[in-house]
Amino acid sequence: MKIQAFLQKVLLLELWQGMWVTLKNQFRPHITVEYPKETVEFPPRFRGVPRLRKDPQTGEELCVSCLLCEAICPTECISIVSEKRPDGKGKQLISFTINYERCCFCGLCVDPCPTKPITAIYMSHDYEFAGFDRDSYVTAREELVDGKPVKIYTS
């Protein structure tokens, strides 16, 4: 027993075992990606910046300006202005603004959206939003629907 402990002390056995683990790991495949050149794949539920969308078939506006997303937003980053439709049925959207500077990407605004089965507001997969001034993060409806022109860093 004593000899074994002595040998362990002199021969640095446990350190060599650790080295062996490190050596084995040299031959494992890489799990990192070279980010600007390539990106990882996102799962369908990935929460990027919230965007608006139109009905993909008819091209009509989906948002019914119910103000539910504005009410539930914890950071108050959504602002909706609407008016009564001239024919008296429902409301018409005048402006829909999201301030991406404040958005915390929690996805709570999508939950109460009443337009079924496609919600008017959705969490897109865009995430590259570096900018040089704060005002450029206030995004109006047109950009929300079509996708704000984003400088793409990935090729």
Partner 1 sequence: MSDEIKPPSSPPGGAAGPGQTPAPPDAAPPAATAPPKPAAPAKVNLTAEVDSPVLRALKEKFPQAIQAVSFYAGEVSVLLDKDSLLPVCRFLKEDPALRLDYLSNLCGVDYPDREKRFEVVYHLFSISLSHRINLKIQLADQEPAPSVVTIWRTANWHEREAFDLLGIPFEGHPDLRRILLADEWQGHPLRKEYPTRGYDRDHMKLR
Partner 2 sequence: MFRTEMMDINMGPQHPSTHGVLRLKLLLDGETVTDTDVLIGYLHRGVEKLCESKNYHMIEPYTDRLDYVAAMYENLGYVETVEKLMGITVPERAEYIRVITAELQRIASHLVWLGTHALDIGAMTVFFYCFREREILLDLFEAFCGARLTYNAYRIGGLPWDVPPGWTDRVRHFVKIFPGRQQEYDTLLTKNRIWLGRTKGVGILKAGDAIDFGVSGPCLRAAGVSYDVRKAHPYSVYDRFLFDIPTGENCDTYDRYLVRMEEMRQSLRIVQQALDGLPAGEVMGKVPKRIKPPVGEVYHTVEGPRGELGFYIVSQGEDKPYRMRFRSPSFVNLQALPHMVKGSLVADVVAVIGTLDIVLGDVDR
Q: How far is the CB of 78 from partner 1 (least distance, A)?
A: 9
Contact between 21 and partner 2 by CB under 8 A: the answer reads yes
User: Among partner 2, partner 1, none, what does residue 101 contact (CB within 5–8 Å per kind)?
Assistant: partner 1
Tokens of 147: 């996708």
User: Among partner 1, partner 2, none, what does residue 136 contact (CB within 5–8 Å per kind)?
Assistant: partner 1
User: Among partner 2, partner 1, none, what does residue 135 contact (CB within 5–8 Å per kind)?
Assistant: partner 1
Give the residue with the Cβ less far from partner 2, 30 or 37.
30
Q: How far is the CB of 94 from partner 2 (least distance, A)?
A: 25
Q: How far is the CB of 118 from partner 2 (least distance, A)?
A: 16
CB 93 within 8 A of CB 65: yes
Tokens 């590259």 correspond to 128
Instruction: Give residue 33's Cα distance to chain centre.
Output: 19
- State the residues that interact with partner 1 by CB under 8 A: 77, 79, 97, 99, 101-102, 135-136, 138, 140
d(CA 40, CA 29): 16
Tell me the Cα Rg of the chain.
26
Q: What ranges in the chain are assigned the alpha helix state H?
A: 2-11, 13-25, 68-72, 141-146
Q: How far is the CB of 70 from partner 1 (least distance, A)?
A: 11
β-pair type (138-139, 78-84): unpaired
Residues 44-83 that bind partner 2 (CB under 8 A): 44-47, 72-74
